[in-house]
Structure 1
Amino acid sequence: MEVAKLSKSALEILDSPNFLSDEIIGFYFTYLTSITDSDDVLFIDPPVSDLLANVDDVDVVKASVEPLEFGTKNLIFFAVNDSEHWSLLVYDRKLNAFLHHDSRGSSNHMQARKLFETLKDCVVPSANGKEYIKPKKKNRSKKASVTSCKSAAPPSFEECTTPQQTNGYDCGLFVLAIARAICEWHCSKKKSNANYWFKEKQVNPSIIEGSMRSDLLKLATANGIKDLN
């Protein structure tokens, strides 16, 4: 996978207490994709999530979703944005639920629901007798296992308990920290409790607001600056 890079303007955003841009969110989603040892995890680029949350044209939704192969993914991450605040929406196939994490109460509830309403019929495999292919791990030679779809029941939408930010601009950092913690949970062997995605210390507001921005800047700087020419 090509190493993701940020533009100079995005690096400047990280270098001061500013609201994260969709470029930065997308950069970190690409980074998480590169370190996640599983083909059944999908991170949706923020502009695509924004399009899906605000489009009414069924054909546009279909054209946007089909290439992403939602039916082969067990975890799908969406960054939700209402132009003033970021939150995280995750589809978990095991629970057949869209789970919303908002670090500022229910600020993005309506925007997350809009995205859910658009996608709720796009994630559940058909129950017409076809089989669902469970993706294999990356770099493994074993064939993908096949399991039958038990049902095509519509997914649910749930608001989840989420650590809260203490300022008005670090919501994007909370999205990234929670996404990272969920990935670590998914890739670990300790997945017995599907509702226990992360421990409090993994998404600690004081750590996120105190050091994650500088850590993200170091990661981005190490990859070099995007050439816009």
Structure 2
Amino acid sequence: MADLADDIVLSFHDSCLRQSDVRLLQPPNWLNDKILGFAFEYYERVQFQDFSSDVTFISPDVTQFIKYSQGDDLAPFLEPLDLSSKKLVFLAVNDNTNLESTGGSHWSLLLYRRDVAEFQHFDSSQGSGNSAPAKLLVKRVQPFLGQSSKITFREMDAPHQQNSYDCGVYVICNTEHLCRNLLQGDTCQIKETVTSASVKQKRTQLLELISSLGR
């Protein structure tokens, strides 16, 4: 008999969420790649769809593959994304070193900005060790950006998490803020928008969104 406790709750384009995934939105749980992938897909398909020609959100499972692939293996995944035409590219960085499985212990956000020719790394936990996988992603993605000038890598002064489990929610919140700021002209600073209170609220908002879409 099927495990009814882990039924599919939501199928949203390429995202499929089960009960066990959705339960992770209750603190003090660490978000998995399924929840982050859903958030990125919702931003792309709904919230920021009017900017689809300018921005792309690369799902965590594809990001994990990118880290440990090279050259011809990457082309089938990255060429269809037409990154050379994008102003912004968002990638969720994970410290997992095993290509064959999901997991790891920390999430951070890597953003490519064409206007300043930079990869910007937003890490809610300083000294987490995510700089190394972020730089590896830069090395893999850079050849597909169509950028002739040098692209720099910069660690940003990002909002800091106050616990050991909210890193994934910070990635989701940071991505939303940066999209609003860079695409819609929001002038608020990231540390004014992404706070421990807003991160806590985002868990509830995502639960309500998933429930609404599931209906």
Q: TM-score range by the shorter chain?
A: 0.7 to 0.9
- Correspondence for 1:101: 122
Match of residue 25, structure 2, among 9, 14, 21: 14
- Correspondence for 1:86: 107
Unaligned runs of 5+ in 2: 1-11, 96-103
**Separation in structure 2 between the aligned mates of residue 197 and residue 73 of structure 1, nearest angstrom:** 23
- Correspondence for 1:157: 153
**Separation in structure 2 between the aligned mates of residue 214 and residue 73 of structure 1, nearest angstrom:** 31
Q: Whose helix proportion is higher, 1 or 2? A: 2
| Bigger RCO (CA 8 Å, 6+ sep) | 1
Match of residue 47, structure 1, among 61, 83, 89: 61
- Correspondence for 1:27: 38
CA deviations over 1:70-108 (Å, ceiling 9, x no partner)? 011100000000111000000000011110000000321
- Correspondence for 1:116: 138
TM-score by length of 2: 0.83
Q: Relative to structure 1, is the Cα distance of residues 215 and 3 closer, same or farther in structure 2, using a 3 angstrom cutoff?
A: farther
**Separation in structure 2 between the aligned mates of residue 50 and residue 3 of structure 1, nearest angstrom:** 16
Q: State the superposition RMSD in angstroms.
A: 2.0
- Correspondence for 1:64: 77
Shift of 1:4: 5.5
User: Quick one: which amino acid aligns to residue 6 of structure 1?
Assistant: L
- Correspondence for 1:182: 178
**Separation in structure 2 between the aligned mates of residue 7 and residue 187 of structure 1, nearest angstrom:** 32
Alignment check: 8 A CA contact 1:44 1:79 kept: yes
Larger Cα-atom Rg:
1
1:214 matched to 2:204? yes
Shift of 1:197: 7.5
Q: Relative to structure 1, is the Cα distance of residues 113 and 197 closer, same or farther in structure 2, using a 3 angstrom cutoff?
A: farther
**Separation in structure 1 between the aligned mates of residue 62 and residue 188 of structure 2, nearest angstrom:** 25
Identical pairs, percent: 32
TM-score by length of 1: 0.78
Q: Relative to structure 1, is the Cα distance of residues 185 and 13 closer, same or farther in structure 2, using a 3 angstrom cutoff?
A: same
Unaligned runs of 5+ in 1: 126-151, 191-195
**Separation in structure 1 between the aligned mates of residue 161 and residue 190 of structure 2, nearest angstrom:** 16
Q: Secondary structure at the match of 2:214?
A: coil
Q: Relative to structure 1, is the Cα distance of residues 67 and 184 closer, same or farther in structure 2, using a 3 angstrom cutoff?
A: same
